[in-house]
Amino acid sequence: MTEKCIYCGAEITDDRPLTVCNSCGVKVWGEKMFRTIVNNMEDAREKGDLELYKEQGEKSEKIRGQKLV
């Protein structure tokens, strides 16, 4: 599944833990800070710290798909 950059809408084809393309990431935070953010988020994903967000997203998708009575 490809995601799109939240700033410019460009497709992100790699499996990164955040939805910001390299170009926008560098423009927003600068090269060194963006690299640090990506590295820290990859480390957090490997530790499982980002799984709660993933589970909450899946639950909200299920809730949105249900009919209200």
CB distance 18 to 37 below 8 Å: yes
- Domains of the chain, by residue range, sit at 3-61
The predicted-structure confidence for 21-65, as pLDDT tens digits, reads as follows 999 999 999 999 999 999 999 999 888 887 765 555 555 555 455
CB distance 15 to 23 below 8 Å: no
Q: Is the pLDDT reported for residue 69 higher than 50? A: no
